[in-house]
Amino acid sequence: MWEADVIGSIWRFFTSVRLALVLILMIASAVLAGTLLDQAPGSVIANSSAYDAWLERAESKYGVWTNVFDALQLFNVFHTLWFRVLIGLLTANIIACSINRWKGIWITAFRTRTRMGDAFFQHARFNASMTAQMPAAAAAERARRALSRAHYRVVSQSEEGAIALYADRYRLSRFGTYLSHLSLVLILAGTVIGGVWGFHDDEFIVAEGATREVGRGTGLSVELVEFTDEYDVQGPPKDFRSEIVIYKDGTEVKRGTVRVNSPMGYDGTRFFQSFFGQTAVMDVKDESGEVIFHDSVPLAWLTRDGERPIGSFLLPDKNLAVYVVGPRSGETDPMVPAGEMRVEMYTQSSGTLTTAENLTQGQTKELAGLSVTFVRESRFTGLQVAKDPGVKLIWIAAGLMVLGLAMMFYFPPKRVWAICKERPDGTAEVRIATTAERDFSQAKDFKNLHERVRLALGIAEEDKSRAEGGKNV
Amino acid sequence: MFDVSQYTFVAAFAALALALLMYAVNAIGVRGAARLSLADGGTWSSSSLGSALDSVGRYATILTVNAFIFLTASLSFRAIEAGHGPFSNMYEFSLAFAWSALALYLYFEVQYGMRTLSLLVLPVSVGMMTYATTVPSDIQPLVPALQHNLLLTIHVAVAIIAYGAFATAFGAAVLFLFQRRDSISWLPQSGLLDEIGHKAVMVGFPAMALTIILGAVWADIAWGRYWSWDPKETASLVTWLIYGGYLHARVIRGWRGTRSAGLLILGFGATLFTYYGNLFFGGLHGYG
């Protein structure tokens, strides 16, 4: 039956905690690499020439290592196949371990052996033996009450000349491990759902007075009524807010203010304040005086030297691409003086510069045979648009994770067994014992429990006890 | 209020520095006494040297408690003055880290009656407070991204509890490595150090999970996505994974003890990296 052997060894592979440890440490290393090294943005990865340029810049930072890191795909850790394989293996590992342990945990929680043999009471790590001056039945009843008062759930079992007690506490906490481990699986499921059925648009730019469609099948469009930024006297920003109107298929459905930490949502799509900037309202007329362009051009990007804000629009009928460059902020700009806009016109097909001129506000100039006017400055808001149907699942999973960890760490399951045996002289021999790790706080727990039972049985001095711990300080 | 906060900070600093000194005297003295007792064959705890050391240790504890109270006062006055939790810049955050390490240390000292751990945990506090003196301490208004009082307070408060717990676990792990063969009479037994490390992670690991979750909730509100692979976010995930690895390692034969102590030290390295990560890498947590 070689098939059974293969399946058996695959099963053993996936059910080992050692695999979990190895995977966790590997993922931690990968994530660390993703933090330490610059990560190429998604838009750069998608475009091979942009990525080459990105690598060239990276080379100045990482030198000869650039090629090594690139070969290992360390500039894009979180989206690589091997990272996903690691996460997939960990998920399989978690699920396999969960299935594997279920039966054992179920039995320990609900079907525990309530009667232990004499050897257990003598050799358990924590055990104690007492003599009560009363019949076994009375001693067992007192021990039972003492354990109940310590919030233990007690099961008793009578037999010839002896009564066995089993007591436990927080037995359901054994399932905490399921909550926190499966929550990881749910979180991954949530990210997959979000990735497949959700979308993010980080650069949804709307100029004041303009309306823009969200697209992606939402049927929504957004109008920016006004953008406001406020600053403290010392300079740091205090508030950024956009007054927006949301339209669904052309009908106004919601109106309100979006600010940082206070997004606005409609029908699962949410709008977040992200950035803002200036726009230039431009007006272009052709030779006959007909308006062929009139719009607010957001200067939402930076020129190649990274110094000036730049925006663009196309005049396809004229085969022209028009770039509008704003003045450098801070210092005086010799190329674009404050209050002016530089207009550069390129032939769209060849990309060659046709003409470039500076315009002051309200000024009209003849450029490439067209009359171009810089009407006025205005503002745009940069919103982030997000729809993520997986996010609810993620919050549920996060709640389960915390609940599971709290159960495991703060309400750990406890068990104790006791036996009360009738002696010929009418007294009772009472033994209590528990399975536990060598652990200071468990030793303390056992000592407390022993103390409670001892007092309940009316025994003055402590009998022979083998409780360890407590003395190793 | 601001002045009172500064004064109490200085008081806490002084008390803590003195406490650390006395803990050191206590530890070195206990060591000397242990040697002495080996020579005499007697017990040192009954000797006059022993009782003198005991009182040095007690005063060290009292001073640490005082430092803790002063630091609590300093953070409280500052919070009252600023109108938000004292967690909005590196100065406030360093004080809070120092506070949390002190709180966790005191808890374990009381719980286990052990002072040696102070030699490793208190320097973390002192270090954080020293660092705090080098960064601007004036109260700045919150930038828009931080203007969420409830989340700011809980997210960061839980984070500093995790950091303090990991500092304690680190202290226990370092002592464990010295003591792994139980060969040093004046140090606590290795089993106990192993347990303290584990107990501290039991505080820190869920706290770190909660920090990451609350951070994700906040990111979802402020930035529109619960996870952005921002350096501080990612570093905190690394830290959490390392402690997750530690918790799993403890159930594997051969990993308990020395190797898991190694993971605790690595984890604290990651913790510090997470703490300072925003200074090195900027990113979304770049608030100063």
pLDDT value for B42? 47
Residue identified by tokens 């192993």 is B194
Domain residues of chain A, as ranges?
Answer: 2-107, 112-170+413-456, 196-277+384-389, 278-378
Does A471 contact chain B (CB < 8 Å)?
no
Tokens read off for B200? 């501290």
pLDDT at residue A440, as a whole number: 77
Contacts of B238 in chain A (CB under 8 A): 28, 31-32, 35
**Average pLDDT of the residues in A41-48:** 78
**C-alpha–C-alpha distance, residues A361 and A349, integer Å:** 30
Is residue B92 predicted with pLDDT exceeding 90?
no
Which residues contact residue A396 at a Cβ distance below 8 angstroms, ignoring those fewer than 6 apart?
A: A186
Identify the band that residue A316 occupies on the pLDDT scale cut at 50, 70 and 90.
Answer: confident
* Mean pLDDT across A208-220: 87
- What is the pLDDT at residue A405? 95
A362 CA to chain B: closest CA distance, Å? 35
What's the mean pLDDT in B130-149? Answer: 74
Mean pLDDT of chain A: 87
Mean pLDDT of B15-30: 84
Per-residue b/e over A17-33, b at no fewer than 16 CB within 10 Å? eebbbbbbbbbbebbbb
DSSP alpha helices (H): ranges in A284-416? 391-410
Task: Give every CB contact of residue B268 below 8 A, 6+ residues apart in sequence.
Answer: B166, B167, B169, B170, B173
Q: Any CB–CB contact under 8 A between A210 and chain B?
A: no
pLDDT at B73 exceeding the cut of 60: yes
Residues of A with CB below 8 A from B244's CB?
A: 24
Average pLDDT for A245-270: 90
pLDDT at position A471 over 90: no
Looking at the complex, does the CB of residue B241 fall below 8 Å from at least one CB of chain A? yes
Tell whether B35 lies on the interface with A, counting CB pairs under 8 A.
no
SS3 A284: strand
Q: Return the residue of A nearest to B194 by Cα.
A: A439
- Tens of pLDDT along B143-189? 666 666 678 788 888 998 999 999 999 999 999 999 888 888 778 88
Ranges of beta strands (E only) in A179-315 are 199-207, 211-213, 220-231, 237-248, 251-259, 264-266, 269-285, 291-298, 301-302, 309-315
- Residue A131 burial (10 A CB sphere; 0-12, 13-18, 19+): middle
| Mean pLDDT rounded to a whole number for chain B | 83
Find out whether B102 and B125 touch, Cβ atoms under 8 Å.
yes
**What is the secondary structure of A325-353 as a DSSP string?**
EPPPSSS--SSS-TTEEEEEEEETTT--E
pLDDT of residue B69: 93
ipTM entry: 0.82
What is the dotted CATH code of the domain comprising A112-170+413-456?
Answer: 3.30.310.80
Q: Number of Cβ pairs closer than 8 Å across A and B? A: 121
Among candidates A24, A31, A440 on the partner chain, residue whose Cβ is nearest the Cβ of B234: A31
Of A28, A239, A439, the CB nearest to B242: A28
The 10 Å Cβ neighbour count of residue A48 is: 9
Note the pLDDT tens digit of each residue in A225-242: 988 888 877 777 778 889
Range of the domain at B134: 2-281
Place of tokens 């919103």: A383
Question: Is residue B284 within 8 angstroms of chain A, CB to CB?
Answer: no
Q: Does pLDDT of A181 surpass 50?
A: yes
Q: For testing the chain A interface, which of B140, B220, B276 should be mutated: the one with the most A CBs within 10 Å? A: B220
Domain membership flag for residue B288: no
Distance from CA of B243 to the nearest CA of A (A): 10
Domain count, chain B: 1
Q: Is residue B259 part of a domain?
A: yes
Residue B181 maps to a domain: yes
Q: Is A445 on the interface with B (CB under 8 A)?
A: no
What letter would DSSP give residue A280?
E
pLDDT at A142 over 70: yes
pLDDT (average), residues A353-379: 90
pLDDT in tens, A372-425: 999 998 888 888 898 999 999 999 999 999 999 999 999 999 999 999 999 998
In this prediction, residue B38 carries a pLDDT of: 55
* Percentage of chain A exceeding pLDDT 90: 40
**Given this model, what pLDDT does residue A469 score?**
39
Q: By the CB < 8 Å criterion, does B39 face chain A? A: no
Residue B269 domain flag: yes
pLDDT tens string A320-356: 999 999 988 777 788 888 888 999 999 988 888 888 8
Tokens of B26: 């206590």
- 3-state SS, A77-144, equals HHHCHHHHHHHHHHHHHHHHHHHHHHHHHHHHHHCCCCCCCHHHHHHCCEEEEEEECCCHHHHHHHHH
Q: Which residues of chain B from 180 to 199 reach within 8 Å of chain A, CB to CB?
A: 188-189, 191-192, 195, 199
Residue B111 contacts residue B103 (beta carbons within 8 Å):
no
In this predicted model, which residue has the larger pLDDT, A385 or A468?
A: A385
Asked whether B77 and B2 are in contact (CB, 8 A), the reply is yes
pLDDT at position A139 over 90: yes
What whole-number percentage of chain B has pLDDT above 70?
85
The reply to whether A239 touches chain B by the CB within 8 Å rule is yes
**C-beta atoms surrounding A168 within 10 Å:** 20
B25/B40: higher pLDDT: B25
* Position B287 in a domain: no
Q: Are B167 and B245 in contact, with CB atoms under 8 Å apart?
A: no
At A129 the pLDDT is 92
Of B113, B216, B224, the CB nearest to A386: B224
Model confidence at B141, in pLDDT bands (50, 70, 90)? low
pLDDT band of A445, cuts 50, 70, 90: confident
